[in-house]
Structure formats: structure tokens, C-alpha cells
């Protein structure tokens, strides 16, 4: 039920580095034609970093790891659904097109054998509501390095970090002791591990697998061009008040808040989002290269009684 594109399939067979990319940036992230330009740009950034991009999406009812440019155009130009784990079977069964969330992209990437995934912000625990993203469940299940800018700014970052810890998900900061704040560089939340180079990240990934630990590694990369925390807090308070007045609930809250943040900041939040997506893709490519290099070295030096992972 999962189709792996020929370029990705060939790269994986040869042990080459591959980076998974989600497709909601195409279907729900930006207006046309900016969405298509971004999708192509993220793939090009991954290639420039020495890895093979694998954008994941549902195309005509087929969950595909590594869509081609024709499929990317199709998704960018149509009104596609959004496929998370809870509705993935329904989307596939109906033969629909859909962008994939973090959770679904992780699910597909892990089954294809991809070790690294680049995204923008994580879904997590919502503020003042019993609403948690399926991203948290996928992060606890799939052995993949997820390069992100922390939980989306509209979420409860402290509760999200606590939930990740409870679920056994390793969280590391990229050259920082603090969890990244998505639209702002840092939160005041301290993460358990700091990684200062890609070899550290690759080693953590391999040791997790050696130990047989479930779940993946979240690498929180702060975006240097992010907004000042006080400025973002003021924007967010106003956006939350708007949502409450409008009676926005459930899955509609996050897109509503992000839209209001963009409007109130005169597009500054969109600019930050684009920069962090590009930066995360570039870092993910470097990590994928390091993981592939370490894997090849480990395979070459494995004793007859050991099994490389």
C-alpha cells in the first residue's frame, strides 16, 4: 500500500542518505504558486546537502514516498485533503489526493527505511483544551530523526515536552540547551541533550537503535531569524482572543491562529516559517549524510557475531 519512488528506492538500496519531507506545505501551507516553489526549493536544498529528497504525499489514493514533480504540481494546484494517521485509511480508500502531516510522514518514512525527516513545527498539546496531536504518538513509535523548530508556537510547549518525555521520545537541542520556540528562537524550557555537530546526532540515532529503543529523536533547531519572544507573545494573545471570540475549536484552532498571526505581523511569521523550513531541510541533509557514513563504517567493522543496525 506504500509506493516508494524510483529515485528514493534506488538511493535506499545503495545506502545513500535520504531525507523525508512532508507535503502539507504544498497543500495547506502557502497560497499558490508559492506552495509549489517552496516544495521544489526544499527538495533542492536537500540535494545540495548531499542527500536524496523524499516528499511524502497521498496521490490518487496511493501513499507515496518520493513523489515526482508532476505529482507535486498536482498537489499544489488542487484542493487536497490533509492525511493524518486517524484518517489515512479513509483518504487512501477514497482514491483522494492529500498532503501528509508530521505523523503520517513519519509513518511512511519509517516503513520505507528512511532515517531522517525535516519539518517546520511539531504538533503537540494544545493550550487550555484536551486536544493532542497524533504527531506525538508517531514520534514515540517511529525510529526516525525529526529535525524541527520545536512545537508550533500556538501550542503548550511545556506540556508537549512533558508528553514527549513520558512517551520515551529523545529530545535534543541543536547547539542549544533550550527547546526551540518555532517562530521564536528559544523557549525557556531546557532539553535533556545538546548536540553541537551532526556526528553527535548520528551517533545518538545509532545508539538508540542498538539499544532497541522505540521511537525517534527530535532535534530542536532554533531559527536565528525568529521573532522576539515578547513580540510573539503579544501577537499570540491577540490571536487566541480572536479564536475564542469566533468560537474556533478542535483541529481548526491551529490553522486559524497561524493565519491570524500572519495577518497581525504583516507577514513576518510567514517569513520566519519559510526560513526555518529551509534551515531544517539543510540540517537534515547533513544529518542523513552523517548517518549513512556511520552506518557504512559500522557495517564494514562489524564482527561476525554482531548484526549492524
Residues in the chain: 309
Number of H helices, E strands in the chain: 12, 11
φ, ψ of residue 58 in degrees (nearest 5): -100, 120
Q: Which grid coordinates belong to 163?
A: 508528553
Q: Which positions are annotated as active-site residues?
A: 22, 152
> String of b and e for 40-79 (b: at least 16 CB within 10 Å)?
bebbebbeebebbbbbbbbbeeebbbbbeeebbbbbbeee
Cell numbers at residue 287, please?
A: 544529518
Task: Of 178, 177, 120, give the one whose Cα is nearest residue 154.
Answer: 120
CB contact at 8 A, 280 and 147: yes
Greatest alpha-carbon span in the chain: 66
Report which of 278, 309, 179, 153 is spatially closest to residue 170, judged by C-alpha positions.
179
3-state secondary structure of 100: strand
Extended strands (E) in the chain: 2-4, 18-21, 52-59, 62-65, 81-83, 98-100, 116-118, 145-148, 170-174, 193-195, 217-220
Amino acid at each position: 500500500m506504500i509506493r516508494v519512488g524510483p529515485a528514493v528506492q534506488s538511493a535506499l538500496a545503495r545506502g545513500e542518505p535520504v531525507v523525508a519531507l512532508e507535503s502539507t506545505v504544498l497543500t495547506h501551507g502557502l497560497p499558490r504558486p508559492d506552495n509549489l516553489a517552496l516544495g521544489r526549493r526544499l527538495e533542492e536544498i536537500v540535494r545540495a546537502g548531499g542527500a536524496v529528497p523524499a516528499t511524502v504525499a497521498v496521490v490518487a489514493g496511493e501513499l507515496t514516498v518520493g513523489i515526482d514533480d508532476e505529482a507535486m504540481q498536482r498537489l499544489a494546484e488542487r484542493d487536497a485533503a490533509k492525511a493524518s494517521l486517524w484518517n489515512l485509511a479513509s483518504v487512501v480508500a477514497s482514491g483522494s489526493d492529500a498532503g501528509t502531516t508530521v505523523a503520517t510522514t513519519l509513518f511512511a518514512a519509517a516503513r520505507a527505511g528512511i532515517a531522517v525527516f525535516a519539518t517546520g513545527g511539531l504538533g503537540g498539546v494544545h493550550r487550555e483544551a484536551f486536544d493532542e496531536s497524533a504527531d506525538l504518538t508517531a514520534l514515540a513509535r517511529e525510529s526516525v530523526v525529526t529535525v524541527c523548530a520545536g512545537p508550533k508556537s500556538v501550542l503548550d510547549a511545556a506540556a508537549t515536552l512533558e508528553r514527549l518525555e513520558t512517551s520515551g521520545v529523545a529530545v535534543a537541542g541543536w547547539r542549544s540547551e533550550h527547546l526551540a520556540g518555532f517562530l521564536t528562537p528559544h523557549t525557556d524550557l531546557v532539553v535533556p541533550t545538546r548536540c553541537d555537530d551532526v556526528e553527535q546526532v548520528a551517533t545518538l540515532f545509532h545508539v538508540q537503535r542498538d539499544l532497541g529503543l522505540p521511537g525517534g529523536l527530535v532535534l530542536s533547531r532554533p531559527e536565528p531569524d525568529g521573532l522576539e519572544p515578547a513580540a510573539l507573545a503579544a501577537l499570540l494573545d491577540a490571536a487566541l482572543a480572536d479564536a475564542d471570540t469566533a468560537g474556533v475549536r478542535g483541529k481548526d484552532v491551529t490553522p486559524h491562529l497561524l493565519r491570524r498571526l500572519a495577518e497581525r505581523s504583516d507577514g513576518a511569521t510567514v517569513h520566519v516559517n519559510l526560513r526555518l523550513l529551509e534551515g531544517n531541510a539543510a540540517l537534515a541533509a547533513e544529518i542523513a549524510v552523517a548517518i549513512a557514513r556511520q552506518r557504512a563504517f559500522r557495517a564494514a567493522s562489524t564482527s561476525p557475531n554482531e548484526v549492524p543496525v
